[in-house]
Amino acid sequence: MANFFTDNQDIVFLFEHLDLARSAEAMEDSYADAQHFDYAPADAAEAVEDYRRVLEMVGEVAGDFIAPRAEDIDRTGNRIENNRCVRPVGMDECLDVLGKADLMGFTLPRKYGGLNFPSIIYTMATEIVSRGDAGLMNIFGLQGIAETINAFASDEIKDEYLPKFCEGEVTGAMVLTEPDAGSDLQAVKLKATQDEKGQWWLNGVKRFITNGCGEVLLVLARSEPDRAGGLGLSLFICNFSDGVKLRRLEDKLGIHGSPTCELQFDDVPARLIGERQRGLVTYVMALMNGARVGIAAQSLGIAQAAYQVARAYGATRRQFEVAIEKLPAVADLLAESNIDIQAARAMAYEAAYHVDLENSLLKKFEAGQLPDDKALVKQMRQESRRLKRLNAMLTPMAKYICSEMCNRVSYNAIQVLGGSGYMRDYPVERHYRDARITTIYEGTSQLQVVAAVRGVMSGTAQKSFNNFAAREYEGPLAGLAEKLAGIVPVFEEAIAYVKEQSGTEYMDLHGRQIVDAAIDIYTGYLLLNQARHSDEKLTVASRYINRIVSRVKYNCELIASGDRSSLDCFETLAGPVPTE
């Protein structure tokens, strides 16, 4: 009887203290759905209560149903039989339960059978499911596919596919990556050709496709053969059954429940999503915010799962006649891990929260639902631009910090368990393997830094710091706020130094330190604001802020050091390329 929502004090805390009524307002068009759907809320209070009910159910499913199947899913893995992927039994059972529980249309509109929940709640649910089984999250967390269809496809395609997603009848895949187009999707080659009747046909190979064996495939393909780069690419939808060949399942380190497929397309009929040439530049990019936050949530789930084991082990394992948690080095590992999780979670939820606000405004603009008051419309446009800039910085930050954190926390979890953690008797070795992909897929950490550093350099981060600093902090919070405010000028100096350098090379070289410093200050403010509500959080914030002040200084010194040795002395520092 485990519940991964109610037993997680930090998620429950955030659920209670985030302004979820505002998230509900963002999702519900004046609660008009209440007239047409018997499960729609009539006001914000009811919507938030509904979120809680569903999260409690998800927590129970993850704790009681999913988690007990994770080990077997990991050991069994997927295999190919007659061009189909045969999943581990536990995986099929989990997907069946999630579908029957109406959880596969989490954010989709009610008219298709969805729950119409905001991203922030979906993020919480994704984390909870991922704590149960990280690989299952890859399929549960692929609801962005249906969201993309909902946002950009024709009504005909929407009506055909979205109810099936909501009922859990089908799962989907984002079919983007190719052997020569990984991080650089502009290099995609898979051909889309249109015959004289207007029918599109797909030909080519895709690799590393998560759940590529799913029933519905969204395929990025070159529809403009003469046009190189992103503007030659369009997005298509096709069914797996129409002649797609499942060539191979990757044999990989972790997330064994999630099939990673190589697909061959031989004259596969497909339909265009939205407009030609907007496949990568508009549609796939729009997916990114959601996908990044999704991996952030997956990372949180893995980290939490690993930490639970380490925490329990630290309390019960005795050496030198004490529980090992009493040993200073172990105590520090555990405390640091738990704070690490909380800081990363604060950032992930901050990002998800703002994604909802941005999407809500975008929806209004697209639907032309604008007030008559022109000044108000102008204000809405300004707010929309502000949120776009903020999310372009926050979502890569969230993906980056959570995935890196989850690798540290699962690494430390094994460390706490020592030799036992290295063995397969405990689940931490699985969490450690599962964690490793999170800093790689949906954009590597290095690419997240590239995405986030623009926002940091252009002043978005500083604006946020100023907004945080302008709030009132009283009592013990005031001193901590002062510490944070005191470190901001050091950070600004470092940024100014980078701006003085010509080109972007120096910025990219020190991107990691720049983004790390910005994330530290940002999360410092987030935890400080959480500390308004509880003494425990005050303890966490004090410890965190006291530590990051030193870390920000350290990073800023490096940034302003002018060190270019990794580029200037690369041959010497990296040594020769190995030869046979």
Partner 1 sequence: MAFNSVVLAKQVPDTKNITGQAMLDDGTVNRAALPAIFNPEDLNALESALALRDRCGGTVTVMTMGPPSACEILRNSLCRGADRGILLTDRRAAASDTLATSYILSCAVRKLSDVHLVFCGRQAIDGDTAQVGPQLAEKLNFPQVTYVEEILDVSDSTLRLRRNLGDGYELVEAPTPLLITVVDTANTPRPPAARRMLKYKRARGKAELSKEATEKFGKGATADIEKYMAQRCEQLSAKGLLIEQWDLDDIEADLTWCGRSGSPTKVHRIQSVVLTGNEHKQIEPTPQAISQMVHELIEDHTIG
Q: By CB under 8 A, which span of 49-57, 77-85, 426-434, 544-552 interacts with partner 1?
A: 49-57
The three-class DSSP label of residue 80 is: strand
Looking only at residues 414 through 473 of this chain, which bind partner 1 when binding is defined by CB under 8 A?
none
54 binds partner 1 (CB under 8 A): yes
Q: Dihedral, CA atoms, 300, 392, 105, 257, nearest 10 degrees?
A: -40
CA 40 to chain centroid, in Å, comes to 27
411-414 long-range CB contacts below 8 Å, 24 or more apart?
Answer: 411/435, 412/310, 412/333, 412/336, 412/337, 413/306, 413/307, 413/309, 413/310, 413/337
User: By C-beta, is 33 or 350 nearer to partner 1?
Assistant: 33
The strand ranges marked E within 240-294 are: 244-249, 260-272
118 binds partner 1 (CB under 8 A): no
Burial track 269-296 (b if 16+ CB lie within 10 A, e otherwise): ebebbbebbbbbebbbebbbbbbbbbbb
Among the listed residues 80, 86, 97, 185, the single contact to partner 1 using CB under 8 A = 97
Is residue 428 within 8 Å of residue 482, measured between CB atoms? Answer: no
CB of 507 to partner 1, least distance (A): 46
Distance CA 399, CA 397 (A): 6
61 binds partner 1 (CB under 8 A): yes
User: By C-beta, is 54 or 494 nearer to partner 1?
Assistant: 54
Distance CA 292, CA 441 (A): 9
For tokens 């949530």, what's the residue? Answer: 297
For the chain, what is the radius of gyration of the CA atoms?
A: 24
Among the listed residues 113, 314, 427, 511, the single contact to partner 1 using CB under 8 A = 113
316 binds partner 1 (CB under 8 A): no
280 binds partner 1 (CB under 8 A): no
CB of 61 to partner 1, least distance (A): 5
User: By C-beta, is 97 or 447 nearer to partner 1?
Assistant: 97
User: By C-beta, is 100 or 245 nearer to partner 1?
Assistant: 100
Among the listed residues 7, 19, 21, 53, the single contact to partner 1 using CB under 8 A = 53
**Which pair of structure tokens corresponds to residue 228?**
């190189």
CB of 255 to partner 1, least distance (A): 24
User: By C-beta, is 34 or 281 nearer to partner 1?
Assistant: 34
Distance CA 216, CA 396 (A): 27
CB of 117 to partner 1, least distance (A): 9
User: By C-beta, is 53 or 318 nearer to partner 1?
Assistant: 53
Classify residue 36 by burial, with Cβ atoms within 10 Å: 0-12, 13-18, 19+: exposed
Contacts with partner 1 by CB under 8 A: the residue count is: 20
Is residue 291 within 8 Å of residue 398, measured between CB atoms? Answer: no
80 binds partner 1 (CB under 8 A): no
124 binds partner 1 (CB under 8 A): no
Q: By CB under 8 A, which span of 95-103, 366-374, 484-492, 560-568 interacts with partner 1?
A: 95-103
Contact footprint for partner 1 (CB under 8 A):
1, 38-41, 50, 53-54, 57, 60-61, 64-65, 97, 100-103, 113, 115
